[in-house]
Amino acid sequence: MSNDPYTVISADAHAGLPTPLYRDYLDKKYWPQFDEFLAGRDQAVEDIHRMGTSDRAFAEKWFAENEEGLEGGWDAQRRNKEMDDDGITAEVIFPDADAVESRTCAPFGVGLGLSGDMDPEIGLAGARAHNRWLAEMCADSPERRRGAALVQITADTDDVLAEIRRSYESGLRVVMIPAMWMNQEPYHSRRYDPVWQLCEELKMPVVTHSGPADKESYGENLGIYVTEVVWWPARPLWFMLWSGVFERFPGLRFGVTEAGCWWVPGLLWFWDRLFLGQKGAEKLSSLGITMQPSEQFDRNCFIGSSNTKRREIGMRYEIGLDNMLWGNDFPHPEGTWPRSREWLAKTYHDVPIAETRRMIGEAAAEVYGFDLASLRPHAERINVTPESLGQTDDAANVARWAGHREVGRHWLTGHDFPLAPV
């Protein structure tokens, strides 16, 4: 029984058409702008190499070694094969399959570059094209896929709500919003309440995905970008939490994707301290914040930590086992594909099996509404088992972590440190 296969869900995967092919999904009136956009793509590839997030030698090797698998970025059948081989039962799909040279960039750059300050008409048009195509792809093996509709929520609210409804009706079940509102209203604004309300009603989790940052301020300094690229997509979380969005919409789920989760324990501790302090509580209550931040986080938030690191595994009792969703980031080179089975073993080998089930699949199934029963035949075929992850002595693993598990969020359990008492 305990060696039953895992339902491995990648809460971070990518898909996108080779950019020119998006034309068929784009309203004809935007074709002239699309031609202009296509003409500028070569420069965009130059910029990517200049910033150093990729380099030419690496790119050539990557494309040569993975030519067939990378077609899974847009071809559903190939994608299914890659998932099976890589150990993945089901997946949540974000835009932009090609992270190396951005050759499957959504029209007008509305994919991972989705930004609050885009021309709203153009932004929604480009997003609609991607969303239409993505819905088609998710219609292949729908039980295995949850596609994220791109929605520039800073646009006109009626247009935004219409696109969310249209996406839902077409089969998409997730709403990806711009990580950065830029010159538009911050996400604490009540202006967005109708968006949160509709997403709550439709049970569509709202997510950001890393990529955007304050790039104009960085010059060519790659390290600054890498430092801040996890902060900007996370920022909406505390704008929503501290303005009471999760109190007004208790069924809403908000997630930050591919931003690691190593920064979560410090914030939860910091936030709860503010809330639990007498002065803070009084002021916050007058602002409509009546629920402890870590409780709001547990109920409403999650992190797509993607290629979870061992350091983060050590923090899981503070972050919350259900709040840190694993993902293979297919088909991005910084992800674990095509070696996710090895990565899962390397990362979870000493984690109790019951915890692993939550962290690599069942928590994601709940957040994103996958049906575990429908996934079971896939999980059995794919056959990632506790034994295959090296979890051969579960009792020892349970015992090993008992002290840390008991301490958990130390500020709520009467301990000073997130360390097992010595």
Positions touching a second copy (CB under 8 A) are 52, 55, 58, 186, 188-189, 217-224, 226-228, 230-231, 238-239, 241-243, 260, 262-263, 266-267, 269-271, 274, 279-280, 282-284, 286-287, 289, 293, 310-311, 313-314, 400-401, 403-404, 410-411, 416-420, 422
- Residue 306: strand, helix, or coil: strand
- Give least dist CB 315 to a second copy, A: 8
The DSSP secondary structure of 65-107, one letter per residue, reads HTHHHHGGGT-HHHHHHHHHHHT-SEEEEES-S-TTT-TTPPG
Closer residue to a second copy (CB): 42 or 220: 220
Name residue, tokens 């709500």. 161
d(CA 100, CA 103): 8
Closer residue to a second copy (CB): 124 or 180: 180
- Give least dist CB 194 to a second copy, A: 18
Name residue, tokens 């939860």. 268
- Give least dist CB 56 to a second copy, A: 12
Closer residue to a second copy (CB): 194 or 280: 280
Closer residue to a second copy (CB): 45 or 230: 230
- Angle at the Cα of 203 (from 10 to 98), degrees rounded to 5? 35
Closer residue to a second copy (CB): 49 or 376: 49
- Give least dist CB 231 to a second copy, A: 7
Over the range 309-340, which residues count as b (16 or more CB within 10 Å of their CB) and which as e?
eeebbebbbbbbbbbbbbbbbbbbeebbbbeb
Closer residue to a second copy (CB): 100 or 363: 100
Q: What is the CA radius of gyration of the chain?
A: 21
- Give least dist CB 215 to a second copy, A: 11
- Give least dist CB 370 to a second copy, A: 30
Give CA 1 to chain center in angstroms: 31
